[in-house]
Amino acid sequence: MAASDPSDRDRDDEPGVLVLAATPIGRVADAPPRLAEELAGADVVAAEDTRRLRRLTGDLGVTLGGRVVSYFEGNESARTPVLLDALLAGERVLLVTDAGMPSVSDPGYRLVVAAVDAGVRVTAVPGPSAVLTALAVSGLPVDRFCFEGFLPRKAGERSRRLAGLAAEERTMVFFEAPHRTEAALAAMAEAFGGDRPGAVCRELTKTHEEVRRGPLEELAAWAADGVRGEVTVVVAGAAPVAGVAADDDSLRAAVAEREEQGMSRKEAIVEVARLAGVPKREVYNLVHGAGGAS
């Protein structure tokens, strides 16, 4: 395939250029046209999986003109200085991962930081993104959102992470392994409430693409039968909660109201303290009659 050499555009007298190139998350046809140009013209192609890179270039009809090196989680620390040396020597380094944009829950962040610190130009080939694709098709609010990546694998750490997000009002996007999807959804239902709306997006843009929407409790039950493929989970944010006045009577009443609604006293104290903007100890002392505010 004939392609212009993008490396000629940036050489001159400046250091090399680091190019972060998005690769298809499903269909090869989704690859941006510029990806082929960059693959053909790069001095160095750093790939998360060199075998998948070879398949991609074959599908795109691209002949690599530069050398290929592996760059994955296990060798990022050791390989970053080598790639930085290439950049400082004036070479154009193209970074690709298995799917989507490098450095977004994929290798690349270390190299970006090193390049920025060294004054090397960093640019990107925009393209497919599982985060934005899932968000767009989820049917949930998209005006404000946050990306939380992968949840911790251990149940306790996962529960603590989700508890910290229970009051998050923005739509949340998570990546998850298929064999952990059921446990993650169940933990979300416990932390956010079983009726919180969500969407499980799997195999996005692929032949067996599926988007399952519904309350988290129902999604967890659906996932119990097993989930296959690449999974992205989108969850609606919490409904805005009115603040709590910080006077003693209002704080006591707010805790009592939440206990009547089914919260434990500890949970009620934590939430009321957060909403009122006062220390938890102050609310605790008021509720337990420990002499008022300290």
Whole-model pTM: value is: 0.76
Percent of the chain with pLDDT over 90: 76
Please give the Cα distance from 130 to 150 (Å, whole number): 13
Please give the Cα distance from 73 to 87 (Å, whole number): 20
Average pLDDT value for residue range 254-262: 89
Enclosing H/E stretch for 54: helix 50-60
Q: What is the pLDDT of residue 199?
A: 98
pLDDT value at 136 more than 70: yes
The rounded Cα 6 to chain-centroid distance in angstroms is 30
Strand partners, 68: 45
Q: What is the pLDDT of residue 105?
A: 84
**13 and 116 inside one domain:** yes
pLDDT value at 5 more than 80: no
pLDDT value at 278 more than 50: yes
Quote the strand ranges of the chain, DSSP E.
17-21, 44-47, 67-70, 92-96, 121-125, 145-150, 171-176, 197-202, 210-215, 231-235
The backbone region for 193, taken as left when phi is positive above 0, alpha when psi lies in -120 to 50, beta otherwise, is left
**Residue 127 · residue 31 · CB < 8 Å:** yes
Average pLDDT value for residue range 184-207: 95
Give burial (CB, 10 Å; 0-12/13-18/19+) of 140: buried
**18 and 122 inside one domain:** yes
| DSSP-derived secondary structure letter, 128 | -
Banded model confidence at residue 3, pLDDT cuts 50, 70, 90: very low
The candidate with the shortest Cα–Cα distance to 114, out of 95, 142, 138, 137, is 95
Average pLDDT of the chain is 91
| pLDDT tens-digit series, residues 266-276 | 989 988 888 88
**Residue 135 · residue 142 · CB < 8 Å:** yes
Range with lowest mean pLDDT among 6-15, 167-176, 204-213: 6-15
| pLDDT tens-digit series, residues 168-193 | 999 999 999 999 999 999 999 999 99
Q: Is residue 242 part of a domain?
A: no
Please give the Cα distance from 45 to 94 (Å, whole number): 5
Q: Is residue 171 part of a domain?
A: yes
Q: Is residue 241 part of a domain?
A: no
Q: What is the pLDDT of residue 271?
A: 86
Q: Is residue 294 part of a domain?
A: no
Q: Is residue 217 part of a domain?
A: yes
Number of compact structural domains in the chain: 3
Rounded to the nearest 5°, which phi and psi values hold at 284? -60, -45
**Bridge pairing between strands 17-21 and 92-96:** parallel
The rounded Cα 143 to chain-centroid distance in angstroms is 17
**Bridge pairing between strands 145-150 and 121-125:** unpaired
pLDDT value at 1 more than 50: no
Boundary-marking domain end, from 235, 257, 276: 235
**138 and 122 inside one domain:** no
Range with lowest mean pLDDT among 139-153, 206-220, 263-277: 263-277
Q: What is the pLDDT of residue 290?
A: 65
Q: What is the pLDDT of residue 7?
A: 45
Domain that holds residue 86: 6-128
Non-local (6+) Cβ contacts of 108 within 8 A are 20, 71, 95, 97, 102
pLDDT value at 219 more than 70: yes
**154 and 260 inside one domain:** no
**Residue 17 · residue 92 · CB < 8 Å:** yes
**17 and 120 inside one domain:** yes
- Give the relative orientation of helices 248-260 and 280-287 as an angle to the nearest 10 degrees: 80
| pLDDT tens-digit series, residues 152-167 | 999 999 999 999 898 8
Q: Tell me, what CATH number does 216's domain have?
A: 3.30.950.10
Report residue 192 as tokens. 């956010």
Non-local (6+) Cβ contacts of 210 within 8 A are 200, 201, 202, 203
Q: What is the pLDDT of residue 14?
A: 64
Boundary-marking domain end, from 74, 105, 128: 128
Exposure string of 50-77, with b = 16+ CB inside 10 Å and e = fewer, is eeebeebbeebebeeebebbebbeeebe
**92 and 149 inside one domain:** no
Boundary-marking domain end, from 94, 128, 162: 128
Q: Is residue 243 part of a domain?
A: no
| pLDDT tens-digit series, residues 138-147 | 999 999 999 9
Q: Is residue 1 part of a domain?
A: no
Q: What is the pLDDT of residue 13?
A: 53
The rounded Cα 257 to chain-centroid distance in angstroms is 36
